[in-house]
Amino acid sequence: MAATGGGAGGGGGSGLLPFPSGSATVSDKLVWDVWMSQHHLTVTTVALNLGLFDWLHGKRAAGGATATEVAAGLSTGPRSTEAVLAVLGGLGFLRCCGGKFTLTEEARNFLLKDSPFFWGHMLQGDKSGDAYTRLLKAVENDRPSAGAWKEWQDGELSDERAAFLTAEMHSHSLTAAFGVGAAVDFSGVTRFLDVAGGSGVFTFAVCRANEGVSGTVLELPAVCRLVEGKYRPADLAERVDTTSLNMFTEDWPEGYQVHFFSNIFHDWSREQCVGLARSSFKALPSGGRIMLHEMLLNDAKDGGLTAACFSIHMLIHTPGKQYSLEDLRSILGEAGFVDVKAQATHPYYSIVTGTKP
């Protein structure tokens, strides 16, 4: 969740929501696949509606087309075009070689209008559903058609809305948080700042796995109250506190060796991400690290499928997208970070780390 509120919080919590003890060994890969599969048909149907497959087939003599050329040819925005192409690549309808997208045999057989095996009439049979309409609107306008991003950006989140969104984020983050706690080396770290940290699940997992670490969840005031009153385990009450500020406009607290962001950069535009990275760089000490917990697109941006579908989710709900490692390396480098590298911590998630010289 995005932290853009004002005020401060802290104190002991009752830990009303059970938090697993020890090290979680479960995998939620299947659940991620099922959840993100909601976008498989809608992306394919929207691509058919836009004429993407026939347009791209017309570029075969040129060896295909780049994402920029596809966007120009279909009059779609760069962010939405990238997201759609990545899903179609992940599904196996497109491939990318040398930056150019081409149709696979399956796409030529079943998604071209002049093919005797054309499936389009069935796939496009019902274009009145909310999912199709939302995606088509987002693709045509290259801007979100739903979502809580404006509430996050403005720092206006009611207690009821905060409770709903925090529960959502907690449920899809818990398994990944244990992966971070188990896989990432926090040697030498004593203070950990979880920026826009939601329920605090990553702070809890890191502190549980590293006895010398204490953490702060930086969030909106309504979410901070939830962290303290509902989510924070009782045994971490002395090691985990909360604070709130507008992460886009206010100076960040100093004294932390790690600034951690889970599913935050994917909510925002590249320009906003550079701004967040610069705020982090300013507040970190020399040798301090920024850590981005994100689901990475591959370098060709034609998959993997679940990450690509998550980018569609971001297209609909936020101004952001899923980034590749090279994208994030560029963003962090622009802010001054060096030695940017990635470490897998989950079947789909990685930690991208940059160091302040």
Over the chain (357 residues), the average pLDDT of each successive run of 10 is 44 56 79 97 96 97 97 96 98 97 98 97 81 91 69 71 91 95 96 97 96 96 94 96 90 97 97 98 98 98 97 94 98 99 97 99
The pLDDT, as a whole number, for residue 143 is: 83
pTM: 0.91
Domain boundaries, the chain: 38-124, 130-356
Residue closest to 348 by CA, chosen among 312, 303, 314: 303
The pLDDT, as a whole number, for residue 24 is: 61
* Opening angle at CA 171, ends 166 and 177, nearest 5: 100
The pLDDT, as a whole number, for residue 9 is: 40
Select which of 266, 293, 313, 346 is catalytic.
Answer: 266
CATH number for the domain running over 130-356:
3.40.50.150
DSSP-derived pairing of the beta strands 349-355 and 338-344: antiparallel
The pLDDT, as a whole number, for residue 245 is: 86
The type of residue at 295 is M
Question: Are 38-124 and 130-356 the same fold in CATH?
Answer: no
Bridge-partner residues for 214, per DSSP?
A: 191
Bridge-partner residues for 96, per DSSP?
A: 101
CATH architecture of the domain formed by 38-124: Orthogonal Bundle (1.10)
Active site residue 172: no
The pLDDT, as a whole number, for residue 246 is: 83
